[in-house]
């Protein structure tokens, strides 16, 4: 999928180093639909703790645009370019953006947890609870009786997450 004249699609945009928030704000001023996934980090400075919101993927933001908005995005200050594959801007499926939103907690789902079967490292698993419900991955390790480490892949990045054992189920 690439740029379309009628349908808006998501594209990854490369920004200057540490300019993701400014680039997002500049695109919003141009009325362009933009998404910057942020993660919360607690930094300790002496006796003070400060909450900071840092990009989940450094130097990347996501825009939902039509073909007519392509040049306006590229003309925006702090934007280096749109990520391309074989010379063409590569659209990102809506479900991939929704996965990112779930990872950072921008989308929450109500779920019911159920007891799961015996799990062993290397098993393919599905997350059945929390904000990552529906994602598939590989069980990497067991941490005690109640925690597991699951490796999830999305957008070419690997996310390694420690979660409660009851929040994953083996895939059949």
| Whether the predicted pLDDT of 15 surpasses 80 | yes
Three-state DSSP at 67 gives helix
User: Using one digit for the tens of pLDDT, what is the confidence trace for 96-120?
Assistant: 888 788 777 766 544 443 444 577 8
To the nearest whole percent, how much of the chain has pLDDT over 70?
A: 88
Is residue 99 domain-shared with residue 128, that is, in the same domain? no
**What pLDDT shows up at residue 110?**
43
Domain for residue 110, yes or no? no
Count of Cβ atoms closer than 10 Å to residue 12 Cβ: 21
Is residue 147 domain-shared with residue 85, that is, in the same domain? no
Is residue 89 domain-shared with residue 14, that is, in the same domain? yes
Domain for residue 118, yes or no? no
Confidence label for 62 from pLDDT (cuts 50, 70 and 90)? very high
Is residue 18 domain-shared with residue 85, that is, in the same domain? yes
Domain residues for the domain of 134 are: 124-170
The structure's pTM equals: 0.67
**What pLDDT shows up at residue 154?**
64
Count: domains in the chain: 2
Cα–Cα distance for residue pair 119/125, rounded to 1 Å: 9
Domain for residue 4, yes or no? no
From 53, 71, 104, give the residue that closes a domain.
104
User: Using one digit for the tens of pLDDT, what is the confidence trace for 125-159?
Assistant: 888 777 677 778 888 888 877 788 888 776 566 77
From 58, 73, 104, give the residue that closes a domain.
104
CA angle, residues 116, 165, 124, in degrees to nearest 5: 70
Is residue 93 domain-shared with residue 36, that is, in the same domain? yes
**What pLDDT shows up at residue 120?**
83
Instruction: Output b/e per residue, 53-67; b: 16+ Cβ within 10 A.
Output: eebebeebbbbbbee
Q: Which range in 52-56, 65-69, 159-163 is most confidently predicted, on average pLDDT?
A: 65-69
Domain for residue 159, yes or no? yes
CB 155, CB 162: distance < 8 Å: no
Domain for residue 113, yes or no? no
CATH code for the domain of 162: 2.30.30
Is residue 14 domain-shared with residue 92, that is, in the same domain? yes
Cα–Cα distance for residue pair 127/137, rounded to 1 Å: 8
């Amino acid at each position: 999928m690439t740029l379309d004249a009628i349908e808006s699609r998501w594209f990854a945009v490369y920004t200057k180093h540490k300019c993701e928030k400014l680039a997002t704000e500049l695109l919003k001023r141009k009325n362009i639909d933009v998404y910057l996934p942020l993660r919360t980090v607690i930094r300790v400075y002496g006796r003070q703790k400060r909450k900071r919101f840092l990009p989940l993927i450094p130097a990347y933001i996501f825009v939902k645009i039509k073909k007519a908005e392509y040049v306006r995005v590229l003309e925006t200050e702090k934007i280096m370019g749109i990520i391309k594959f074989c010379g063409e801007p590569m659209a990102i499926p809506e479900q991939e953006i929704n996965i990112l939103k779930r990872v950072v907690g921008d989308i929450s789902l109500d779920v019911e947890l159920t007891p799961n079967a015996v799990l062993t490292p290397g098993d393919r698993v599905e997350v059945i609870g929390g904000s990552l419900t529906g994602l598939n991955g590989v069980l990497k390790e067991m941490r005690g009786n109640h925690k597991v480490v699951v490796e999830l892949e999305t957008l070419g990045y690997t996310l390694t997450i420690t979660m409660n054992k009851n929040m994953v189920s083996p895939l059949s």
